[in-house]
Structure 1
Amino acid sequence: MQAAHPAVRVAQIGPNAIIQTVGALEEAWGRAEAQAFLQRIGRDDLVERLPATMVDEQEFVALIGALRAELGISAAGQILARSGERTADYLLANRIPAPARRILPLLPPAIGLRILLRAIAAHAWTFAGTGRFSYSVAGGRATVCLANCPECRGNAAADPICRYYEACFQRLLRTLITPRLVVSETACMASGAEACRFAIVWK
């Protein structure tokens, strides 16, 4: 099965990309140090009030860039991975209907994934912004692709660096499909790929 669902081309992204990254910073560093960092990068507004509506996707791109400049790609990736997990937890608690949370884990993984990824694709613009989301499910594996991925946009690295999306997808899919599922970014635009590709496997 192949499916492609271009995200709506608006330069906005859901506020959780910002909210949960700030939350991950506070978890890792403590509130005072996290706030000092936000002030250093000119985001005093996030100290006073977190966004409640859609934000310019460039705000997320810039926040990631500031984290990588401060910490390096690897350490920033740990913060971003935790942010991705927190985002998934928010979605599970607030955006996934209770019947879906009950039924999807009871289905064979490939069937559950097709249903869930189709639903995710319909709302891809809320987390991909001007990125383009597509997916495929075949046999015992699936693939998610993000072209023009906000997380690595403008970056160069030898290895994949999209830890936010990798962790978010894994937490969400493990909870709703099977805890045996693993998501790994296998190709990244930062290392020259045409799109960021996430392999999904389960046993």
Structure 2
Amino acid sequence: MSANMVLPLHEVLGETVGGVARDALFQGAGMRYLPGPQDHVRERQVFEIHQSVRDLHSDQSEAILREAGRRAAAIVAEYRIPASAKTMLRRLPWPLATWMLVRSASQNAWTFGGSATFEAPKTSQLSLVGNPSIKDARSKKPLCVFHETLFQTLFRALVHPAMLCTETGCEACGEEACTFTLEMQNLD
């Protein structure tokens, strides 16, 4: 998986829980050295880091994961999407731009989904089957706030600022896939 799945968390954890707690969390996940932005990270480490945030900092975990998702999306938008593609997406009608960005996400799903199967049965619905960031986790509520925020921030930055992304199903809740619904916010 892309180092973008853990580098923003490293930064946010340093700001919220401090460097000592952050470093212990990363070392507990078997990550002694921080990867570079171009490096790949093991799925197991991504899961262990994300799960440790949920376990060790449960009262702050949603805010931490959301902020890390926002920062991860900003990195993708800034460094991974060519300027010409950004300009084109912003000029297209939002349904077409959404379709194009979903297609691009499908081609690069390993970066945020690892070995998970990424599907887009409809342009407005994305799913990850076997999401490594929540592997074997159990919850009464959806856990994929990192991915939800990553997708929403990307679609808002590249397609339209009124795009919403909501996790509507989660493997941690017993669903077959982590499912995300994209929609245009009511502008009335």
TM-score between the two structures when normalised by the length of structure 2: 0.90
Aligned to 2:155: 173
Say if 2:182 is the partner of 1:200: yes
Aligned equivalents of 2:85, 2:110: Cα separation in 1: 21
Aligned equivalents of 2:148, 2:48: Cα separation in 1: 19
Contact 1:152 1:162 (8 Å CA) reproduced: yes
Post-superposition offset of 1:44: 9.5
Give the counterpart letter for 1:19 in structure 2. L
Q: Secondary structure at the match of 1:194?
A: coil
Contact 1:14 1:55 (8 Å CA) reproduced: yes
Name the count of aligned residue pairs.
183
Q: Secondary structure at the match of 1:199?
A: strand
Aligned to 1:42: 27
Change (3 A) 1:184 1:151: same
Aligned to 1:108: 93
Aligned to 2:166: 184
Post-superposition offset of 1:40: 5.6
Post-superposition offset of 1:152: 1.8
Q: Secondary structure at the match of 2:168?
A: strand
Could you list the structure 1 runs, at least 4 aligned residues long, displaced by more than 4 angstroms after superposition: 43-47
Contact 1:110 1:137 (8 Å CA) reproduced: no
Give the counterpart letter for 1:22 in structure 2. H
Aligned to 2:5: 17
Spell out, residue by residue over 1:40-62, the C-alpha distance to the aligned partner (whole angstroms, 9 max, x if none): 66359867x42021011110100
Match runs of 1:67-146 below 5 Å: 67-72=53-58, 75-137=60-122, 142-146=124-128
Q: Tell me which of the two structures has the higher relative contact order, counting C-alpha pairs closer than 8 angstroms and 6 or more residues apart.
A: 1
Give the counterpart letter for 1:124 in structure 2. A
Give percent identity, aligned residues only: 27
Aligned equivalents of 1:130, 1:163: Cα separation in 2: 19
Contact 2:125 2:180 (8 Å CA) reproduced: yes
Aligned equivalents of 1:157, 1:132: Cα separation in 2: 21
Match of 1:51 among 25, 35, 41: 35
TM-score between the two structures when normalised by the length of structure 1: 0.84
Aligned equivalents of 2:10, 2:34: Cα separation in 1: 9
Aligned to 1:8: none
Post-superposition offset of 1:104: 0.6
Give the counterpart letter for 2:95 in structure 1. A
Listed as ranges, the gaps of 5+ residues in structure 2 are none
